[in-house]
Amino acid sequence: MTIDKDKMLEYCNEFSKNTLMETLKIEFIDAGEGFLVAKMPVNSLVHQPMGLLHGGASVALAESVGSAASHFFINDKNQEVRGIEISANHLRSIREGVVFGTARIIHKGRSLHLWEIKITDEEGNLISLCKLTNMVLTRP
């Protein structure tokens, strides 16, 4: 499979407008064979009450990048993607800066995609490790 990195990033960032991804300032920044990377700023808008990155914001980043990555493998004209299960292990906290979500394909079937998403900080420290299952549906 060969992808046009610039076209894929433009597509992902365009469909994020007026969505939760825009609200959280998630930006898709890199793509390649079987992976997609997005970044999200860590500030008070994504904090939990103790001033740390909220686990739900981490999961939103993970599901956003993993679901977008499934578009590598579908025909957008007659298929669409739905996240059906996500799990997350939050391993380290962060108060400010930027986190990066990198989705890598584990299993690519006709109707199910399984992704591993690693959320890291600017130094490459693992913040959360997530697993996402997407279902591929035929558009009506």
Cβ contact 70:115 at 8 Å:
yes
Of 27, 63, 80, 85, the catalytic one is: 63
Cβ contact 70:104 at 8 Å:
no
Q: Is-catalytic flag, 80?
A: no
- Active-site residue list: 63
